[in-house]
Structure 1
Amino acid sequence: MEKWLRSLKTKTPQEGFELAITLAQKGVQYTQPSEKIRKKLRPKYSQNAKSLISASQVIAINFQTIAAANNYWERQR
């Protein structure tokens, strides 16, 4: 896999949230490297409430980590 994550530091909480989503997506890609299989599975989990809640939880945990790494955006200055 390519080296794509340079830092958890972001300028804003919005950028931090977007990074959290990217981390979740990359986690799926590392776990299931076959794009063909991911595309095959997506219709099923994209309509499953439990799967969507689980995805949201992963993003939230990632966002907590990023927020801490950014010192909660310097305590809102």
Structure 2
Amino acid sequence: MADTWLPSLVTDSPEEGFALAVKISRNSVKVTQPDAETRQKLRPDYADDADSLIAVSQVIAINFQTVAAANGYWRG
């Protein structure tokens, strides 16, 4: 990616860290499937699928673990 969308994993709070984890996860999907129209077309396939939603939650949780570790778990 040419532009810098992730200058740092450091955040001021766990809430900001979680938001960053979500952003990382969303951008990963965009890199994997760069065509927005295709992503929109595929959304109904997983939007009501419990297993898919759990899998998405797991990806976000893994990214949040990474951000939390980079922030020393927000403990000075």
State the TM bucket, normalised to the shorter chain. Answer: over 0.9
Counterparts of 1:1-77 in structure 2, within 5 Å, are 1=1, 2-73=3-74, 75=75, 77=76
- Cα distance in 2, alignment partners of residues 34 and 55 from structure 1: 19
Count residues in correspondence.
75
Q: Which amino acid aligns with 2:45?
A: K
Deviating 4+ runs (over 3 angstroms)? none
Secondary structure of 2:7's counterpart equals: coil
Shift of 1:43: 1.3
**Alpha-carbon deviations, 1:3-54, whole Å to 9, x = none?**
2100000000000000000000000000000001000001111111111000
Percent of paired sites with the same residue:
57
Normalised by the length of structure 1, the TM-score is 0.93
Q: Which amino acid aligns with 1:27?
A: S
